[in-house]
Structure 1
Amino acid sequence: MTRADLETSAAASIDGLPPDNLGIFPDTSLLESVKPAPGGRFPWASLLIMALMGFLLIASETMPAGLLPQIAAGLSVNEATAGQFVSAYALGTIVAAMPAIAMTRGMRRKPVFIVGILGFLAANLVTAFSADIVLSLGARVLAGAFSGLLWGMLAGYARRITAPEHAGRALAVASLGTPVGLAAGTPFGSWLGTTFDWRWSFGVLSILTVLTVLLTLFLVPDAPGQRAGTRVPLVRVLGIPGVAVVLAVIVSWMLGHNILYTYIGSYLRTANRPVTVDIALVIFGAAAIGGIVITGAVIDKGLRRLILLSLGSFIAASVIFVAGNASVVAVVGAIVLWGLAFGGAAAQLQTAISAASGENADVANSMLGVAFNLAIFAAGVAGAVVISNFDGLILPSVMAALAGVALAIAVAGRRTAFPR
């Protein structure tokens, strides 16, 4: 065997394939394509484009909540029906995320990412121009489905184009769109729809989505999909040690968070503090951005400590909400602490579930997205029951109890889900 033959054989073994199988790949530069961040550079541009996409997904999901009267008037329906714009989006994500990821996980990442963005764009354009409530709700379900695909693949894609030692930092940057979307995207979309017309909100989102597609085409590198030999069926992914533990933490943690976040107005009215819901959410969003900056700086050095600190901060913020409800300073301080703790949660949990699931990170992250949306849906129902029977001051106590459950699960999961 010649030296060239030996080199070919060694190169093929890198991907776990026999030498004669290299010819099945249409791209003969496969081995180069799997190298993250050429030259060891951190792929800031690519990850910020992913963050922009996350911003658009979050803004599109939550924006209708601030435009229900305008949407209802524009489509000649009542506000309860218009409220299904949010529910339909969540339903699309819950139903489609895992099947969509399972079907596409073997495909190269960039084409799938672009198709997902284009599908999301088409759904928002239909929503912007539709005059029929049934068509509009169908478009929202479709937007949620493509959102589930994009959320499910973002974490794995970000990790594939980044050096392993910076994987957590990469997820923190790619997740930046979530707190920014909550802090700026949703309020801006609501203002735009209120000032002009609610359709303008979806129109501006569509323009930004076109920009994202173009940036992706020119600046985001491609990456291979998951190799066939490592693909585990959906049910078996749930059985991978650590995955179910992370999902349990997500459901408990995000259920507690969303019960207070969704009904924060009820708490503020009961506490009778001169802090409006808009101001509270802006403060929360700004603090959340700070939280993800902190997460990005330390996540690759101490994920477990970061998770435990975030959950502990949730509990501390809840205690301040209850004990200091008579003080504006205390309430604002609790909002800041709450936002700081929440800001990095998505990156922390995505990093944990990606590490636990290994090659099956895309499927595991689609489960993470479903868990998030189930928590959002359940929080709406549970929070309504709570405030129907008690006053708003009890909401932080509920958040503290659920965060405590999540903390106990995280502590117990030190071997598989959140190792030292």
Structure 2
Amino acid sequence: MIGLGGAIGTGLFLGSALAISQAGPATILAYALCALVAFVIAWALAEMVVVHPEAGSFGAVAQRYLGPLAGFVQRWTYWTIQVIAVGGEVVAAGLYVRFWWPQLPLWALVVFFSAVVLGANALAVRFFGTVEYWFAMIKVVAIVVFIGLGLVLIIFGLPKSPATGLTNLTADGGFLPHGMQGLFLAMVFVLFSYIGTEVVAVTAAESEKPERDIPRAARRMVLRLVLFYVLAIAIVLAVVPWTVTAQGGTVDTSPFVRVFESAGIPAAATITNFVVLTAALSSANTNLYLTTRMLHSLASDGYAPAWTGRLSKAGVPRNALVLSALGLGLAATLSVTSADSAYIALFGISVFGALLVWIMILVTHWAFRRASASASSVRLWGAPVTSGLAALFLLAVMVSTAFIDGLDTAWMAGLPFFAILIVAHIVITRRRSLSGSKNAERHRGDR
């Protein structure tokens, strides 16, 4: 449920418009193909963390098999993109509340929801797990109900609407209205729907039996994501003409609202708004959990302030939570005050960083396989061919972002950020080396 909570965001309920505008009904194929990539990544992670169930997850494993620079870059990149994501989600939560009470100031709602997710993460991890379980449960139930009602509407019809059939899947230009190019461009947007599947691996250090729990959770999570995403998008495209869905997502125009209204469910827009509100809070809650664990891992290796690595009596890295909260405040503030300037740069870093992290996970898995041919009880089928193909696909997606309006900031902001991390690692490593040399000289002098 934590994995589903991190992966299923508001995009499914209100968004997916960008992907549908590119590929039309063929967006179904894009979700299915990207699901295969997510499955490869989740299974590669499960294989590695069963052997190394440590804080920092794939970042710590990358340091073990690819070297300190890789571990440093991967963990700081992941921390940054998740802090940005948390800021964006709490702002989104505030906007959803204003659907009911538009007179409320956005900043007050952002502060309130920030306090909620910080409180959930500051207590024992068991409390965080309980909160996230129920947050995720709400949107999972909503998706299941939507799929059930949608299938009935397509096949049999509902009291207020006749059966739609599958004609919308071939109308308005056919199943693939913009050709293969449109399908590939849609994958760029669809891929981000699956970002969050890696959260299962991050929980390994706090799992009672990671060798049992992590592979099982990864398998079940990805299969459910495929079921939810592919079926839900197929129903959206069958019920609502793709040219209508592609125009954008507000609560009033959400396909979920249309299906609920057709079923005669009162206050469909209010119900959908409540669901997307919990979806935003669920994503913020999970992403904040991830940032604190990554920061704790960095502190353990001397790449973040030592105080961020200390644990509370409940075993929670609260100091890391404080630093992550500062980033949350910055991201949330920029998303409100500088949506067209500073925040777009943060978004670019987030896009570039997410793809970079996934590629590095697959490269780490390749190095892991070379170093330990049969060390794990879990094996990714077909590796290294399957993981190599997934990495090439992600690399192609990363390159394509430079040519897509709205995503071109990924390279403009991502490359400088990546360069800054490399320089920071060089500086930290040299300082530690000089400090070690001075300590050694003092030790010899004492002798």
Per the normalisation by structure 2, the TM-score is: 0.28
Per the normalisation by structure 1, the TM-score is: 0.29
Higher relative contact order (CA 8 A, sep 6+): 2
Higher fraction of helix: 1
